Amino acid sequence: MDDAQRQRLEAAAFRRLVTLLRSRTDLSDEMLYDNVGFSRDSLIHWYAEAARAYGMHVTDEEVARWIYGESWEDWKIRMNNEDEAH
């Protein structure tokens, strides 16, 4: 496997992880961090850090929109509403 193939596979695995985290709203960031040592917020920071390392400028809010599928603020409101409904 060459580097380009490995990077494509890593990117595909990362996208699948993001899709899973978007769909598993029952897993709070606190729960994720306590059990596996990272959270959606960790991914946001790692992604933004990697972009900066390559000379790109992205804000945490821009990355949060991609990781959460919506703004962090909208996601937080929706999660609070879902928690209250249960």
Encoded tokens for 23? 């769909």
Encoded tokens for 42? 């960790």
pLDDT tens digits along 17-54:
999 999 998 888 899 999 999 999 999 999 999 999 99
Cα 42 to chain centroid, rounded: 7
pTM for the full predicted model: 0.77
State which fold the 3-85 domain adopts. SMc04008-like fold (1.10.3340)
Alpha-carbon distance of 80 to 75, in angstroms, equals 9
5, HSE (Cβ side, Cα atoms, 13 Å): 2
Write down the domain spans for the chain. 3-85
Q: Which helix (H) or strand (E) holds 25?
A: none
pLDDT tens digits along 46-85:
999 999 999 999 998 899 998 988 888 888 888 787 766 6
